[in-house]
Structure 1
Amino acid sequence: MATRKDSRGYSLKKGESQRKDGRYVFRYTTLRGEHRSVYAKELSELRKKEVKIRRAIEDGLDPDRAERITLNELFDEYISQKYDLKQSTMTNYKYMYNHYVRDGFGKLRISKIKYSDIKKFYYSLILEKGFKPNSMEIIHTLLHPTFTMAVRDGLLRLNPTEGVMAEIKKSHCWEKTKRHALTVAEQRAFTNYIANSEEYRGWFPLFTVMLGTGCRIGEVLGLRWQDVDFKNRTISINHNLVYRVQEDGTCTNHVNSPKTKAGIRIIPMIDEVFDAFLEEYQYQKVIGFCTDEIDGYSGFVFCTGEGKVYLPNAINRTIRSICADYNKEEESKAKEENRDPVLLPKFSCHILRHTFCTRFCENETNLKVIQEIMGHADISTTMDVYAEATQEKKKESMTSLQSALLVR
């Protein structure tokens, strides 16, 4: 069989040809059995493309599809196969992707996305959008497995997101905010002020339960009267209330099961918590119980005067108001009494949980017990709080011991 040649007399290999306009063509079949063609003005340029194509096919890759598919298309394919995700998690993932990836970075062809592109995109979210570690982790949790799927499907040779977060975490573009528990004096000031305030007295049971159980805000707001066992003085934690963003951008309340088995637990009631629940129950017997029904759940313990469950943001706003009013009064009293004021720092609902855990760690050495009461899935979380709490306790002990030790 005669060797085919181009217009310059160069021999053409199998799959190569030259068009009437002088351009060179290489035709090949993909792993999927699809016929594809690539073009070049020069034969040398065409053969460079051929080398890449043949190498990719030998390695089980599908370069042509990678050239055509966008990150958006790849993500949609990936997320549609996540059958094990809770609806709330799925909704949150789609919300984050649609708001921060889809309209810009998501339109890029996956074959064009390199490690440096991912890094640049991540930094744009951190520096321009003000992303914190938790939000950044969500984006990475979406993109990393999406590209992993592309690698396993033979679309890409390497995952461009590999190692990006590790590199960013080494930088100082943001520092993870360290949570500090309220001191004993601050905690006492907070609860005493609420207990004796005409304006905030109605919040006393809720904050007592939060400070006396260490429950997450969603767990407390999701409590039903049937979860409170007055006879055995226990609280059953088996679900939580979440204010969830829907795919259409609106928000609504939903009831979720705990993310891990550790979240399902029975918490014994201390006397203060028992009294707080009893006070709230007696109060609602007079004004009426919660009328809200959410995902089949009803009979919620803590609700507004209109019989509706609270939103987490409403609790945080109330904490800010309490702290502002208390600090204003405390500064005035301290000035009159010629003493330093005991002021409350800015804090959120989660600090009340952290405060409970800290007090617990200061008085309990069994880490497993602390972990189970807190519902920590990973004991390292418990150990971090314990280490901080015991370090402060050691300082206090040494200060107390100082006057007793006759070292000089």
Structure 2
Amino acid sequence: MVEEKTINEIAKEWEDDKRKYVKKSTIAAYQLLIQNHISPYFGELNKVCEEDVQKFVLKKLDDGLSEKTIKDIIIVLKMILKFGVKLGYLEYVQIDVKFPTNHENKALDVLTKQDQKKIMDYLRDNFTFRNLGIFICLSTGMRIGEICGLRWCDVDVAEGVIKVRHTLQRIYIIEGEQKHTELLLDTPKTSNSIRDIPMSTELLKMIRSISKVVNENYYVISNDINPIEPRTYRNYYKKLCKKLDVPELKFHGLRHSFATRCIESKADYKTVSVLLGHSNISTTLNLYVHPNKEQKKKCINKMLRSLSAK
């Protein structure tokens, strides 16, 4: 016989169990999704069916939530439900939700070549440690947390590589009724995110001279023992965009711009995927590789020519 518990009660037990196996930042992310989305909609229920979840998906789409965020929520919900079934609180129910196919794929935020050159020229001619971080991002595709968590000991001038070993983020902690935020220096997003990225000749030239006089324990963009957190650095970047009169893309758009320039330069997709620290090449392909009409035409003509070749 199934011992009934509400989804809120099951979620609390699931969190306590999950805490033993995942990073603090991961638990914090789960808690936010539960508090903001799962608990208000499903929390007081003691069973969840496919129809409930499908209605939830459509409501969240209507509310303007992105498909990716909704999928992340559903992943967490399914883990909680599976945990409930395992402990005998719920009966197993197959849940397969559908997303409408009539919505347009949102274009990536990417700098034009002209705007990217404009920014990089300015950064080169107006050196500060904060400006260096933006230049590094445009030259390596590093995430903002990786840039903020980068220390001089991670910059290997002799080998000409930047060693991505940490990420800095402010996480939201929920401990019973107590809620607070905490700045956390942690290992990168996934094991693939731990990587060595070669520095361009230009970046290496910028760094080589100052690397001899900086403290290796200092953070690069603050040149201090204390880091600059991502939110503060985003604000600095926004002000720079306004100053240079370039489109105010999200900071993550710098990473997209790096990847796009790599693809445009005919770099092989696997190499780009490794540089970005993606878990698999399909992520890179889905995000950045979208053949246009001319490329498709060339592909078909090339195939037909190979058939007619003697």
Structure 2 distance, partners of 1:249, 1:96, is 15
Structure 1 distance, partners of 2:131, 2:186, is 26
User: Which residue among 170, 187, 193 is the counterpart of 1:257?
Assistant: 187
For 2:117, the aligned partner's letter is R
- Contact kept? 1:72, 1:102, Cα under 8 Å: yes
In structure 2, the CA distance between the partners of 1:303 and 1:176, relative to structure 1 (3 Å rule), is farther
Larger radius of gyration: 1
Deviation readout 1:330-363 (Å, 9 max, x if unpaired): xxxxxxxxxxxxxx32312211111111222222
In structure 2, the CA distance between the partners of 1:276 and 1:391, relative to structure 1 (3 Å rule), is farther
Structure 2 distance, partners of 1:155, 1:226, is 50
For 1:138, the aligned partner's letter is D
Task: After TM superposition, give the deviation of residue 317 of structure 1 in Å.
Answer: 2.0
**Which residue number corresponds to residue 114 of structure 2?**
185
Q: Secondary structure at the match of 2:184?
A: strand
1:100 aligns with 2:31: no
Structure 2 distance, partners of 1:116, 1:383, is 33
User: Which residue among 75, 81, 84 is the counterpart of 2:17?
Assistant: 81
For 1:300, the aligned partner's letter is Y
In structure 2, the CA distance between the partners of 1:256 and 1:189, relative to structure 1 (3 Å rule), is same
For 1:116, the aligned partner's letter is E
In structure 2, the CA distance between the partners of 1:218 and 1:392, relative to structure 1 (3 Å rule), is farther
- Contact kept? 1:211, 1:355, Cα under 8 Å: yes
For 1:225, the aligned partner's letter is W
Structure 1 distance, partners of 2:286, 2:71, is 20
Q: Secondary structure at the match of 2:182?
A: strand
Structure 2 distance, partners of 1:393, 1:183, is 20
Structure 1 gaps of 5+ residues are 1-61, 291-297, 328-343, 398-408
User: Which residue among 214, 221, 224 is the counterpart of 1:302?
Assistant: 221
Task: After TM superposition, give the deviation of residue 150 of structure 1 in Å.
Answer: 3.2
RMSD: 3.1
**Which residue number corresponds to residue 368 of structure 1?**
270
In structure 2, the CA distance between the partners of 1:385 and 1:122, relative to structure 1 (3 Å rule), is closer
For 1:325, the aligned partner's letter is K
Structure 2 distance, partners of 1:141, 1:351, is 26
Task: After TM superposition, give the deviation of residue 106 of structure 1 in Å.
Answer: 0.5
Aligned residue pairs total 293
User: Which residue among 115, 124, 128 is the counterpart of 2:50?
Assistant: 115
Structure 1 distance, partners of 2:279, 2:247, is 29
**Which residue number corresponds to residue 272 of structure 1?**
202
Bigger RCO (CA 8 Å, 6+ sep): 2
**Which residue number corresponds to residue 308 of structure 2?**
none
Deviation readout 1:230-256 (Å, 9 max, x if unpaired): 112111112211121122432222122
Q: Secondary structure at the match of 1:267?
A: strand
For 1:212, the aligned partner's letter is S
Structure 1 distance, partners of 2:71, 2:209, is 42
- Contact kept? 1:206, 1:276, Cα under 8 Å: no
**Which residue number corresponds to residue 168 of structure 1?**
99
Structure 2 gaps of 5+ residues are 299-310
**Which residue number corresponds to residue 62 of structure 2?**
127
- Contact kept? 2:141, 2:256, Cα under 8 Å: yes
**Which residue number corresponds to residue 148 of structure 1?**
82
Q: Secondary structure at the match of 1:102?
A: helix
- Contact kept? 1:151, 1:159, Cα under 8 Å: no
Provide the identity percentage.
26
In structure 2, the CA distance between the partners of 1:392 and 1:182, relative to structure 1 (3 Å rule), is farther
Structure 2 distance, partners of 1:191, 1:184, is 10
- Contact kept? 1:239, 1:257, Cα under 8 Å: yes
